[in-house]
């Protein structure tokens, strides 16, 4: 049955029910294509996950590992906050590094991860970038609030990059937010050349928000770490939030802090191992 097929060892994990397949490429070769990732991500005939995470050898001298992220549709993306926490727990559990502080490079930035305990991980998400060119977003001037028209309806939102692009829409009631309709429209809008993750934020008070996220290449997920940080960054920029915010998502809650002096966002939340597995492909 498995003759002439490749064997792959993997670990299934989740961060607030945002689930991942993690593959250690330091100890095995992984010959993958977009089609193979789509097969693995299929929840009916494959493993099922929101993102595939690869542990690779460092590409910079001052880092411990390189961290690659692929969406369920096979597209490679720049960042995933929930994935970063799972990445850190995987490194810690597998004893791949004799330290609770882990420095990794992603597609476009370097981030620091810290294992607080067996369940909670702190991620230094770096500095939020608000200029349209950094998103990228096809707007000439930087603003706090932008707008686009959808079927004669005006949608207002903020934009930010945390290594990956986000736009955040503030809503009155998270349960009534048209996440799939507006999310899919903005995700692939021509104004976002690399597509965009779309967050829907309900502000409870200046230290507490509810959030739903429509992730590019995936759709709505149970939670999104970088999306939580993006929502807080935009809320602070619009003077609607303070520098320490509890973020409630469908999959659970996390804490996001903003260090004004360092201009850095920090995310603290859980990471859980589900199982180890072997698949032949």
pLDDT tens digits along 67-98: 999 999 999 999 999 999 999 999 999 999 99
Residues 143 and 238 occupy one common structural domain: yes
Expressed as residue numbers, the domain containing 189 is 132-262
- Residue 111's pLDDT is 93
Residues 76 and 138 occupy one common structural domain: no
- Residue 1's pLDDT is 55
Q: Catalytic one among 86, 167, 224, 229? A: 224
Residues 69 and 43 occupy one common structural domain: yes
Question: Looking at the domain assignment, is residue 120 inside a domain?
Answer: yes
Active site residue 224: yes
- Residue 4's pLDDT is 78
Using the structure block, give the residue that is written with the tokens 């690869």. 54
- Residue 2's pLDDT is 67
Tens-place pLDDT, residues 137-168: 999 999 999 999 999 999 999 999 999 999 99
Question: Looking at the domain assignment, is residue 32 inside a domain?
Answer: yes
pTM for the structure as a whole? 0.91
- Residue 142's pLDDT is 97
Using the structure block, give the residue that is written with the tokens 């010959």. 31
Backbone angles phi, psi at 26, to 5 degrees: -75, -25
Beta-bridge partners for 277 = 10
Residues 112 and 213 occupy one common structural domain: no
Residues 168 and 102 occupy one common structural domain: no
Count the domains in the chain: 2
- Residue 181's pLDDT is 97
Q: Which residues are within 8 A (CB) of 184 and not within 5 positions of it... i.e. 6 or more apart?
A: 214, 219
Residues 29 and 121 occupy one common structural domain: yes
Residues 217 and 235 occupy one common structural domain: yes
The yes-or-no verdict on residue 3 having pLDDT over 90 is no
- Residue 22's pLDDT is 98
Question: Looking at the domain assignment, is residue 51 inside a domain?
Answer: yes
Tens-place pLDDT, residues 208-244: 999 999 999 899 999 999 999 999 999 999 999 999 9
Residues 143 and 196 occupy one common structural domain: yes
- Provide DSSP, 36-82: HHHHHH-TTTS---SEEEEEE--SSTT-SEEEEEEETTS-EES--HH
- Residue 118's pLDDT is 82
Question: Looking at the domain assignment, is residue 172 inside a domain?
Answer: yes
- Provide DSSP, 180-234: HHHHHHHHT-TT-TT--EEEEEEEEETTEEEEEEEETTTEEES--HHHHHHHHHH
Beta-bridge partners for 76 = 70
The yes-or-no verdict on residue 116 having pLDDT over 70 is yes
Residues 173 and 220 occupy one common structural domain: yes
- Residue 24's pLDDT is 98
In angstroms, the CA 85 to CA 79 distance is 12
In angstroms, the CA 127 to CA 24 distance is 28
Q: Catalytic one among 80, 86, 167, 229? A: 80
Looking at residue 193, which CATH number applies to its domain?
3.10.310.10
Q: Which residues are within 8 A (CB) of 276 and not within 5 positions of it... i.e. 6 or more apart?
A: 9, 10, 11, 12
- Output the CA angle 123-266-203, nearest 5 degrees: 125
Nearest to 11 by CA among 275, 244, 281: 275
- Residue 122's pLDDT is 97
Active site residue 86: no
The yes-or-no verdict on residue 113 having pLDDT over 90 is yes
Residues 139 and 116 occupy one common structural domain: no
In angstroms, the CA 9 to CA 3 distance is 17
- Residue 165's pLDDT is 97
Residues 115 and 139 occupy one common structural domain: no
- Residue 234's pLDDT is 98
Q: Which residues are within 8 A (CB) of 15 and not within 5 positions of it... i.e. 6 or more apart?
A: 81, 82, 83, 85, 86, 223, 225, 251, 269, 270, 271, 272
Question: Looking at the domain assignment, is residue 234 inside a domain?
Answer: yes
- Residue 194's pLDDT is 95
Would you tell me how many other CB atoms lie within 10 Å of the CB of residue 263? 10
Residues 145 and 238 occupy one common structural domain: yes
- Residue 56's pLDDT is 98
Question: Looking at the domain assignment, is residue 2 inside a domain?
Answer: no
Tens-place pLDDT, residues 16-70: 999 999 999 999 999 999 999 999 999 999 999 999 999 999 999 999 999 999 9
Would you tell me how many other CB atoms lie within 10 Å of the CB of residue 240? 14
Q: Place 119 in a pLDDT band, splitting at 50, 70 and 90.
A: confident
Question: Looking at the domain assignment, is residue 1 inside a domain?
Answer: no
Question: Looking at the domain assignment, is residue 98 inside a domain?
Answer: yes
């Amino acid at each position: 049955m498995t003759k002439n097929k490749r064997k792959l060892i993997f670990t299934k994990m989740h961060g607030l029910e945002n689930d991942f397949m993690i593959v250690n490429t330091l100890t095995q070769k992984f010959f993958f294509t977009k089609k193979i990732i789509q097969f693995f991500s299929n929840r009916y005939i494959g493993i099922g996950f929101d993102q595939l995470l690869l542990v690779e050898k460092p590409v910079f001298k001052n880092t411990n590992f390189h961290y690659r992220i692929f969406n369920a549709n096979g597209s490679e993306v720049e960042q995933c906050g929930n994935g970063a926490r799972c990445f850190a727990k995987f490194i810690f559990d597998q004893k791949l590094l004799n330290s609770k502080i882990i420095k990794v490079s992603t597609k476009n930035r370097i981030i620091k991860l810290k294992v607080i305990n067996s369940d909670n991980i702190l991620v230094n998400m770096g500095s939020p970038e608000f200029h349209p060119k950094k998103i990228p977003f096809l707007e000439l001037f930087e603003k706090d609030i932008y707008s686009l028209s959808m079927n004669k309806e005006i949608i207002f939102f903020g934009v930010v990059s945390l290594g990956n692009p986000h736009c955040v829409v503030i809503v009155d009631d998270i349960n009534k937010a048209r996440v799939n309709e507006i999310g899919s429209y903005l995700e692939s809008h021509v104004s976002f050349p690399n597509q965009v993750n779309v967050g829907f934020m309900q502000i409870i008070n200046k230290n507490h928000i509810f959030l739903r996220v429509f992730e590019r290449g995936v759709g709505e997920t149970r939670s999104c770490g970088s999306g939580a940080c993006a929502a807080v960054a935009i809320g602070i920029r619009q003077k609607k939030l303070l520098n320490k915010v509890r973020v409630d998502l469908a999959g659970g809650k996390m804490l996001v802090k903003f260090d004004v002096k360092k201009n850095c966002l920090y995310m603290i939340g859980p990471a859980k191992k589900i199982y180890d597995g072997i698949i032949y492909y």
